[in-house]
């Protein structure tokens, strides 16, 4: 079983919001085969704590437009690694140093990546 379309849609919306806040290296991993508790991990990073928090704010704002609120939020006060748990999608926004150290992508390397379609976002904005 792979991630549901609704989970992928949530991950894409969060990724586009993160991209709009200049997040680095945005990746989504389909962990549905390995974890029963969630479908997708979205991982993004930033170079400083203020940027991490700005990305988190952008994601929460965008997903609230879809009537989604995180069921759990951790790490906001430190701004180094913020976890937003939307049940089917778990968002990790990490400081670049923490992302290299914890290497979540390496831990889940046997899981497929989700196509976030981020390259389509600038083209769509230009055509409007």
Tens digit of pLDDT for each residue in 14-71?
999 999 999 999 999 999 999 889 999 999 999 999 999 999 999 999 999 999 999 9
Secondary structure (DSSP) of the chain: ----HHHHHHHHHHHHHHHHTT-EEEEEEE-TTT-SS-SEEEEEEESSHHHHHHHHHHHHHHHHTTT---SEEESTTTTSEEEEE-SSEEEEEEEHHHHHHH-HHHHTTTSPBP---TTHHHHHHHH-
Domain boundaries, the chain: 5-118
What are the tens digits of pLDDT across the range 70-121? 999 999 888 899 999 999 999 999 999 999 999 999 999 999 999 999 875 4
Per-residue confidence (pLDDT) for residue 121, from 0 to 100: 47
Cα dihedral 9→13→19→25 (10° resolution) = -30
Identify whether the C-beta of residue 45 lies closer than 8 Å to the C-beta of residue 24. Answer: yes
Q: What CATH class does 5-118 carry?
A: alpha beta
Per-residue confidence (pLDDT) for residue 126, from 0 to 100: 41
């Amino acid at each position: 079983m792979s991630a549901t379309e609704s989970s992928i849609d949530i991950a894409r919306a969060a990724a586009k919001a993160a991209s709009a806040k200049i997040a680095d290296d945005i990746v989504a991993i389909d962990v549905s085969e390995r974890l029963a508790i969630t479908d997708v991990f979205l991982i993004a990073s930033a170079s400083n704590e203020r940027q991490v928090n700005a990305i988190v704010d952008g994601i929460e704002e965008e997903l609230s437009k879809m009537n989604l609120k995180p069921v759990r939020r951790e790490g906001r006060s430190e701004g180094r690694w913020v976890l937003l748990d939307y049940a089917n999608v778990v968002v990790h926004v990490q400081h670049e140093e923490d992302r290299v150290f914890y290497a979540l992508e390496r831990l889940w390397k046997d899981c497929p990546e989700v196509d976030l379609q981020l390259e389509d976002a600038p083209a769509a904005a230009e055509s409007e």
